[in-house]
Structure 1
């Protein structure tokens, strides 16, 4: 067991007292951990609304299933793409910054817009991410590649709790739509849909002040063509001896889990191996380090809308990076107080904040979604639905409203950000 001296070694001397106080506060905290104030050295200058971009930092893998004519192999390519996103979503920040940081909590209506450009075969992939709920906090996103007819849309929220460390249950789901070769991109009936669930996670090395994410439990991917992928996360155990360990299977729903077509084993942060169970041969060894990410392009700060994340949080981010916590607190309070005032006005006027790119839907009216959800057993909420009460609703991308979207996105102008109209 590590001594307190060992644990303090990675924590700046000036921050050890505040870090100890933070650990004590979360150990006794009952409620939403996102509301706690973390010590300055563990604060991130990035908003949680930007995390949606981690789904598609490898655009070639994102569109690869659309090029494959065999539905079984398409399902395998979707599984490979999903596994490739785990490093980006849960590991890349700690590698870049030295440890996992506490992100900025997005405000209602916050946007993060960008695109990945590839002048070659992949084409342009666009990202729209929007904070669609604040109580409870939830982020919705749409990632689209028109050239290949591939779209990912989803929404997620986090429910955090503390028991010796921080545990996070991720709520929501994602839907990946793929247009197979030869299919009509404008005809939904010819497309293929995959329902994706999210892993639970906990924070390792918290006492050392160098926290990193470890995934746990399992996730599933269900395909409208009848294939199911199941991924089980085991982390660093007595047998594996390696962090970020997982194993996965791909099987036909009609055959069941005991007859997998493919197995995948390894570390989602490093290397994993795909094998065909029928031939006993290795299909591919995927190495995270060998895959370079494609930079996301976003407009210059001065061209962004007031509600776009990096412009809205600019003063806060600069203060965090300077280590000026007084300025950080003042800049954050300006936004948060303006948001409270805006919610108060909306309540008095009997109206609700208008989402720009997403809308609430009744998932029970979507027959395909309900069929996929039943395939993987996620209908555990009230009355046999998903837990929409914990995400502010079930959110879907509104294509019609997005067609003519251009700044300014909200008629309130900068009022909700503490800026003059």
Structure 2
């Protein structure tokens, strides 16, 4: 891309953001700045390395299980946050998912005999909330997560994710509470936007271990982009926080893991090494997908993006957005309430595992902002048959 087109896109973005007030989450950006995928697909980042996801279920040592959950968390960040790109490529904004949008996919690692299956649904539009479920049933490990995304602009785009993920390992009846970090989009002046996580987050294990991750970034004088430091310690040792393991590096490029007690380097992870590449995604062919499945629903928009015809992108996207507004108006007029297909909301006070793991930490649930806590209804997943909503489609 030449410097003039970069400059043009940057001016277009800044002009657009300058006209928007408040939360940007449901705001449609300029077509040229959109990624060819929907928000409802974001769970792919957590599921596309089946061996990494399954690894904690195959480890007998509980402190090492925490280390493996950290590894899974770190490996997801680059593809989750560098939407439609990589370091050095300006990121784009995913399509705003419409209410009821679905995404089904699986990944298989033949060498390690591991398969992950992902189910995701847009369970709310105002506010936007996406729920997902990832499972490796053979190894007995699953992850349930949900997020309300809040975006604001004050010279940088600030993305706050309200929600969390919970990993459960059947063999040990063990849970790991995983945070969804906040992100700033930087790089406007340089014409190449990139994500930066800042702050400190914790992964809490029911086996008694805490993983503390401190994210930092590129400053005016010092610091490296996408940097982090992590340490794992026993929860009973919250005063000294003496680490058992440490991991340091750049989450978008690679990191080093050490056993602090012995000084041994356990792993040097290179994100771009061939052995760490994601497995190929397996999804149904477009003509076999239901009308509510993401890639079929957005097929016209994605085709316009692929051909570079922004007029098609705008026309096809507007068609869906207008139809969705009409459906919401019709529901309101008839006094009907939209019911998600595969996920159910639970009262925050009933989410016992969360409250047990966060006791004394100050970590709040904020369930009032996410319409409760969202969990998959596995009986609905097993019993779901297309057409999922009868004659109703995203277009009406």
TM norm structure 1: 0.88
Change (3 A) 1:11 1:45: farther
Give 2:313's aligned residue. 328
**What is residue 232 of structure 2 aligned with on the other side?**
250
1:49 corresponds in structure 2 to 40
Q: Which residue of 2 aligns with 1:210?
A: 192
Corresponding residue number in structure 2 for 1:12: 5
Measure, in 1, the Cα distance between the counterparts of 2:246 and 2:337.
47
Say if 1:11 and 1:208, in contact at 8 Å, map to a contact too. Answer: no
Which whole-Å CA distance do the structure 2 matches of 1:232 and 1:329 have between them?
40
Secondary structure in 2 aligned to 1:117? strand
Mark the CA change 1:262 to 1:240 in structure 2 (over 3 Å): closer, same or farther. farther
Query: Partner residue of 1:231?
Result: 213
Which residue is equivalent to 1:372?
A: 357
Choose which of 331, 353, 358 in structure 1 pairs with 2:343.
Answer: 358
Matches within 5 A, 1:54-203: 54-91=45-82, 93-95=84-86, 98-179=89-170, 183=171, 190-203=172-185
SS in 1 for 2:177: strand
- Counterparts of 1:255-404 in structure 2, within 5 Å, are 255-256=237-238, 258-290=241-273, 291-374=276-359, 376-379=361-364, 386-404=365-383
Distance 2:302 2:54 in 1: 33
Tell me by how many angstroms 1:103 deviates. Answer: 1.1
Contact 2:25 2:149 in 1 (8 A): no
Report if the CA contact (8 A) 1:156-1:173 is conserved.
Answer: yes
- Report the Cα distance in structure 2 between the residues aligned to 1:11 and 1:46, rounded to whole angstroms: 26
Distance 1:238 1:209, change over 3 A: closer
TM-superposed CA distance for 1:93, in Å, is 2.7
Residue 280 of structure 1: SS of its match in structure 2? coil
**RMSD of equivalent CA atoms:** 2.2
User: What count of residue pairs does the alignment treat as equivalent?
Assistant: 393
Are the structure 2 counterparts of residues 53 and 120 from structure 1 closer, same or farther at C-alpha, using a change threshold of 3 Å?
same
Secondary structure of 2:85's counterpart equals helix
In structure 2, distance between residues paired with 1:81 and 1:295 = 17
Cα shift at 1:294: 0.3
| Residues 1:24 and 1:338: Cα distance change in structure 2 (over 3 Å) | closer
Looking at structure 2, the residues matched to 273 and 196 of structure 1 have their Cα atoms a distance apart, in angstroms, of: 21
Shift in Å, 1:159: 1.1
Cross-structure match for 1:382:
none
Displacement after TM superposition at 1:400 (Å): 1.9
Which structure 1 residue ranges, 5 or more long, are not aligned? 1-7, 184-189, 380-385
Q: Secondary structure at the match of 2:164?
A: strand
Aligned partner of 2:392 in structure 1 is 413
Distance 2:25 2:294 in 1: 18
Normalised to the residue count of structure 2, the TM-score between the two structures is 0.93
Instruction: Return 66-75 or 34-43, whichever deviates more.
Output: 34-43
Q: Distance in 1 between matches of 2:30 and 2:380?
A: 41
Structure 2 match to 1:383:
none
- For 1:42 and 1:390, the matched residues in 2 are separated by 28
Secondary structure, counterpart of 1:87 in structure 2: helix
